[in-house]
Amino acid sequence: MRITIIGTSSGLASVSRNQSAILVEVSDLVCLLDAGEGTTRAMLSQSLDPNAVSSIVITHTHQDHCGGLAGLIQYMQLTGRTNPLSIFLPQESVETFQKYLDAVYLSSHKLSFPYSLTGWESGAVINAADCTAELHLTHHLDSVRTLAEVAGLGVRSAAAVIRAEGKLVVYSSDVQSVSDLDDTPRQADLLILECTHIGLDEIMEAVSEWRAKQVLLTHVPMELEGMVSTLKDMAAKWGIPDIQFASDGTSVVV
């Protein structure tokens, strides 16, 4: 299983980091976790083929995690894709996204390939013979619950747990606190953890208990840029052997 972190920025646009997107490659299955603004261009700049993607899982509908979805579909259309595409969204967002895609002339029946929008609530979204992807609900969007209710929207957000080839990968997506990950498995082969909404001290305490074999920090805010040596010092203090800030294009075989 190969994991490529396509975009590592926080929600604030940056010239040095693309917005959130992670590519999971397992045999013939190629899954994109989130598709923030500019994901298509980011993939092309990293020599990744957007048309190789067979499924897209959106963990929540902040634009830095889903703002590149329409651009990806348009690229696929303009390059003559014919293979079907499965897109998984929070259940309450499916109708809204379909109306948006229709409004920008990307209705599935008008394209060279079919796509499906499937709503998720929690649990398994991909259940293939060689790979499973499960979503675990988090509290990331709780702060906008009132606004969402007024607008008729939901507040569903999730972390993702990927199992393939005997390996385990946990992707936090965005969280309210590390306690949002209490029901995700420990001792992951790879833990991809955001560091915008939770501080480094909180991260170190949690990671030292979880004992993941490798930890990559993503969703990196500007104030943490240039703090590589600080991270190394903190990791040594907590006895964490392998933790680093991910960069756009960071790719690991798990």
Q: Is the pLDDT of residue 145 over 90?
A: no
Q: Is the pLDDT of residue 149 over 80?
A: no
Q: Quote the CA–CA distance of 186 and 79 in Å, as a whole number.
A: 41
More reliable by pLDDT, 125 or 99: 99
- Tokens 């929008």 found at: 117
Q: Judge whether 94 and 123 are in contact, CB under 8 Å.
A: no
pLDDT for position 193: 98
Closest CA to 36 of 222, 173, 198: 173
The answer to whether 189 is a known catalytic residue is no
106-137: pLDDT as tens digits: 998 889 999 999 999 888 888 887 899 999 99
Q: Among 38-47, 84-93, 152-161, 207-216, which stretch is predicted with the lowest mean pLDDT?
A: 152-161
What is the pTM (predicted TM-score) of this model?
0.95
- Mean predicted lDDT score pLDDT of the chain: 94
The active-site residue, picked from 34, 64, 189, 248, is 64
pLDDT for position 123: 82
Q: Quote the CA–CA distance of 214 and 191 in Å, as a whole number.
A: 6
- Tokens 């040596």 found at: 229
The one-letter code for the residue type at 238 is: W
pLDDT for position 94: 94
Q: Is the pLDDT of residue 208 over 90?
A: yes
Domain regions of the chain by residue span: 2-253
| pLDDT band at 154; cut points 50, 70, 90 | confident
- Beta strands 131-137 and 250-253, pairing class: unpaired
Q: Is the pLDDT of residue 152 over 80?
A: no
Closest CA to 99 of 87, 73, 117: 117
Q: What mean pLDDT comes out for the span 224-250? A: 96
pLDDT for position 229: 95
Tell me which CATH homologous superfamily contains domain 2-253: Ribonuclease Z/Hydroxyacylglutathione hydrolase-like (3.60.15.10)
Torsion 184-175-61-90 (CA) sign? positive
61-78: pLDDT as tens digits: 999 999 999 999 999 999
Q: Of all helices (H) and strands (E), which one includes residue 145?
A: helix 145-151
Q: What mean pLDDT comes out for the span 197-221? A: 96
| pLDDT band at 146; cut points 50, 70, 90 | confident
pLDDT for position 84: 97
pLDDT for position 8: 98
Q: Is the pLDDT of residue 148 over 90?
A: no
